[in-house]
Structures are given as C-alpha cells and as structure tokens.
Amino acid sequence: MVFDENMQLVTRCPFCSAEYDLDGAQVIGEENDATMVYITCSECESSIVAIVAMSGLGVVSLGLVTDMTVEDTKRFMNEKHVSSDEFLTIYELLSNNEQNAIKQLTKSSK
Ligand SMILES: [Zn+2]
C-alpha cells in the first residue's frame, strides 16, 4: 500500500511523539477503500492499530493504542474474512469503544 500524503493517518506516536516510520507499518487488512495498519514506534516500541477508510465524506482515519501483537491482529483479520461492511463496523466499534473493541473482537474470534 502507498500512503497518500493526503491521508490523515496517525503520524506520531501518542506516547513519545516520535514520528512514525511508515515504512515499518504493516498492513493487516485491506478491503475496498479501507485499510487497517499496525504501526510499532521505533523509539518506545508501543504499538497502535490504525484504520484508514475512504468514505463519502473523504478520508477518515483512526489510530488506537493496542497491546495486541501484529500476529494477533492478522489472525483476527484472516479468521474473520472481514468484509467491507464488517470493516466499517470495526471502525465504528473502535470509534466508540477504543481499545476494548479490538480486544473483544479478537477474543471472540478464537
Ligand atoms: Zn513512541
């Protein structure tokens, strides 16, 4: 995936404010116009999951702190075969419930 400069992707670590090296971002899942990426801070090694989605209103993005590993998130995405509808549901869940949402989603997929 190419990170478009116009995308308002999370670009700084919420913990130490270091600028993310997006070359190190791992794409966990892509569906139509939505992409979920996992980014680990090279400075403090904290991780976030970010979702970037194209909507009728333009590009929306959300980053959240996670203690899941990239393997956890990939397993979740693979098992679920996430559709674009589900992807948006996840996005909404994350918006409303922040880090608990993805934890719960991961648990229920095991
Ligand atoms: Zn950091």
Return the structure tokens found at 68.
């899941």
The answer to the question of residue 9 being in a domain is no
The answer to the question of residue 12 being in a domain is no
* pTM greater than the 0.75 cutoff: no
Near ion ligand 1, which residues have CB within 5 Å?
13, 15-16, 18, 41, 43-44
The answer to the question of residue 75 being in a domain is yes
Q: Are 93 and 64 in contact (CB under 8 A)?
A: no
For the chain, 110 residues long, the average pLDDT of each consecutive 10-residue run is 50 85 81 82 88 72 74 73 66 64 51
The answer to the question of residue 14 being in a domain is no
Instruction: Supply the range of the domain harboring residue 81.
Output: 22-109
- Using the mean position of ligand 1's atoms as its centre, give its distance from the Cα of residue 53 in Å: 24
Residue 82's pLDDT is 61
The answer to the question of residue 13 being in a domain is no
Task: Report how many domains make up the chain.
Answer: 1
Return the structure tokens found at 108.
């229920």
- Using the mean position of ligand 1's atoms as its centre, give its distance from the Cα of residue 84 in Å: 30
The answer to the question of residue 1 being in a domain is no
Return the structure tokens found at 82.
């996430």
The answer to the question of residue 7 being in a domain is no
- Using the mean position of ligand 1's atoms as its centre, give its distance from the Cα of residue 40 in Å: 8
